Structure 1
Amino acid sequence: MPSSSLRLFPVPPYLRGAAESWLEHGDRTPRKPRLASSVVLVRDAPRGTETYLAYRRGESPLGKVAFPGGSIDPGDDDAATWFGPTPTAWAKSFGIDDPRLARRHVVAAIRELFEETGILLAGPDESTLLEANRGPEWMAARAAIASGDSSFLDLLTRRGLGLRTDLLRPLSNWQTADFALRRFDTRYFAVVQPLGQEASLLEGKGSWGQWRSAAEEIAARNTTALGDEIGLPDTVGLTLSELTVPQVELVLEKLAGARGCIAYLASRRPAAVFQPELVQNDGGYWLAVQLSGVGEGSAQRGR
């Protein structure tokens, strides 16, 4: 049987007001979460497994520092050439019965990864992947998609490309804590950086994004090194737990202990819905997370 342990993560500064109000006024109906996808982009490096982290403005349910990701768009339902597991197979891996919903999450994951990093999981056939993603035309395409002026799937169709969904691996499904004013129901995926493609910030939108050593970030988690290095008003002086949401920190822990990218992607994970619970302890507000010892899990609700 896997071991279990309860972990407490501090409520980030920008969410403390909402946490205080929620506990002060008692249980209320939580806001409906928006469907979202997020991608853990990884690569092997001399200093250990690295992942791409980026700063997110505002009060993102994904964290101030997070993996690429965002909400599902209506355009994610459009037709596209599809390589890899069928939507039905993806639904089974998610532990759900809705292939259309599974398809939306997969498309959103590939689209958000392209928008935010330029990494494009697409190719002309099931065994070929785009080998170059740099240049002004690709940056312009990313900007147009991010602004809603262009369709991601239309771009692929015009270029004769299909979605390489076989390159993605499902990780976990997290719902934002009930008290938050903005909530996501997020499917997390992982993918290895494709050969010949480089990650970059979207011009005019991104403030900070870097490849970071998971082991080094975990080793420095109780310091303010990362927040101070980013150097923005809402990151300076904050620890890793205050910059991220629990699922990001837990993924970093798993990456830090993994023997390379392939081993990390090959790990088996349960199909379950996870959600932190808001608690008060020692005069502070915390997110209670129940670890099952398998995957990047938290307090389970349902399923």
Structure 2
Amino acid sequence: MVQLPEDRSLPTGFVRETPPGQPAVPKDAATVMLLRNGATGPEVFLQRRVKGMPFAGGMTVFPGGGVDQRDADASVAWSGPDAGWWAERFGCSPDAARALVCAAVRETFEESGVLLAGADRTTVVGDTSRYADARAALVSREVSLAKFLADEGLVVRADLLRPWANWVTPEREPRRYDTRFFLAALPEGQRADAVTTEAAEAYWATPKQVLEDFEQGRCYLLPPTRVTLSELAECGSLPTAFAAERTLDKILPKLVRRNDRWHAVLPGEPGFKEAK
């Protein structure tokens, strides 16, 4: 019998028991791992999602969400690697890459109040509380990221982001996402908060602390979050994490049921070919 990774078992009821007749088409999404230097090493910003949400309810996650069609607006002022550079890393079109980067910036601001933008190519905004009304308007979709930035005279600082990974939701799931993971450091003068209806709590912790909480049953992590935290724990410092050379192949886990639990199995692992 194949030994399955216990740290990638999924909570009871998380996976639907009846397989889909036709897998749902994954929606593009972006998630951002915000890092800062803590007293005992690098810390990452995490949120525990509200229970009962359609996707990942009760899970501890990084800020992020689906791409809005307006995120591809070419009028967005931009600083850093262009859309073509990002397209090569993520294996998509330049338009899709632009939308992913803008979604990463927008979702991070909406969910944590951290804004990866500045007045020009060399600056980053400090205290973002003065943009509270605009933040609420972004959340309600009253305004687009492009309009918000234009009204405030800001440019997206794409150079503050690093591509990290590309995970795709297993085919058995009814809600599927093709999620690109980004790395970013908390800008000086800014703070991350929990002012979002999607999170029950938000906090900073070292990757090792979160993994220990997971092992002790104090939090729930989806496989991509669990694996990514392990990778960050190995880096040991912000410079090491940002200098890491990453391979961005799509990671599409499969699911196998064993002992009344669903387990995620990754490409190349024992049991992957036999999994659903």
- Per the normalisation by structure 2, the TM-score is 0.89
Q: Deviation digits for residues 226-283 of structure 1, max 9, x if unmatched?
A: x4xxxxxxxxxxxxxxx22111011111222222112112111112111110112234
| Cα pair 1:61 1:182 within 8 Å, conserved | no
| Cα pair 1:34 1:184 within 8 Å, conserved | yes
Name 1:285's counterpart in structure 2. Answer: 262
Q: Aligned-pair distance for 1:219?
A: 2.7
Q: Aligned-pair distance for 1:224?
A: 2.2
72, 75, 90: which one aligns with 1:77: 72
Q: Secondary structure of 1:88's match?
A: helix
82, 89, 95: which one aligns with 2:91: 95
Cα 1:204–1:28 change in 2 (3 A) is: closer
Q: Aligned-pair distance for 1:62?
A: 8.8
CA RMSD of aligned residues (A): 2.2
Q: Aligned-pair distance for 1:291?
A: 6.7
Structure 1, unpaired ranges of 5+: 228-242, 293-298
How many Å separate the matches in 2 of 1:222 and 1:203?
27
Q: Does 1:52 align with 2:50?
A: no
Q: Secondary structure of 1:278's match?
A: strand
Name 1:185's counterpart in structure 2. Answer: 178
Q: Secondary structure of 1:43's match?
A: strand
Letter in 1 for 2:217: T
Name 2:14's counterpart in structure 1. Answer: 15
Q: How does 1:97-246 map to 2 (within 5 A)?
A: 98-134=93-129, 137-202=130-195, 206-225=199-218, 227=219, 243-246=220-223
Q: Aligned-pair distance for 1:55?
A: 2.0
Q: Aligned-pair distance for 1:105?
A: 0.5
Q: Deviation digits for residues 199-220 of structure 1, max 9, x if unmatched?
A: 0122555421111221112233
Letter in 2 for 1:11: L
| Cα pair 1:72 1:108 within 8 Å, conserved | yes
How many Å separate the matches in 2 of 1:6 and 1:284?
11
Q: Aligned-pair distance for 1:72?
A: 0.5
Q: Deviation digits for residues 54-76 of structure 1, max 9, x if unmatched?
A: 12231325972110000100211
How many Å separate the matches in 1 of 2:79 and 2:213?
40
Identity %: 32
Q: Does 1:270 align with 2:247?
A: yes
Letter in 2 for 1:263: T
| Cα pair 1:50 1:212 within 8 Å, conserved | yes
Q: Secondary structure of 2:200's match?
A: coil
How many Å separate the matches in 2 of 1:113 and 1:77?
16
How many Å separate the matches in 1 of 2:58 and 2:242?
23
Letter in 1 for 2:249: A
How many Å separate the matches in 2 of 1:165 and 1:283?
44
| Cα pair 2:30 2:104 within 8 Å, conserved | yes
Q: Deviation digits for residues 173-195 of structure 1, max 9, x if unmatched?
A: 11101111111111110101111
Which moved further from structure 2: 61-70 or 273-282?
61-70
Name 1:232's counterpart in structure 2. Answer: none
Cα 1:222–1:204 change in 2 (3 A) is: closer
Cα 1:145–1:214 change in 2 (3 A) is: same
Q: Deviation digits for residues 45-102 of structure 1, max 9, x if unmatched?
A: 1122211111223132597211000010021122111100110111112233x11111
Letter in 2 for 1:181: P
- Per the normalisation by structure 1, the TM-score is 0.81
Q: Secondary structure of 2:97's match?
A: helix
How many Å separate the matches in 2 of 1:54 and 1:12?
18
How many Å separate the matches in 2 of 1:63 and 1:128?
36
Q: Does 1:258 align with 2:235?
A: yes
Q: Aligned-pair distance for 1:289?
A: 2.1
| Cα pair 2:72 2:96 within 8 Å, conserved | no
Which moved further from structure 2: 254-263 or 81-90?
254-263
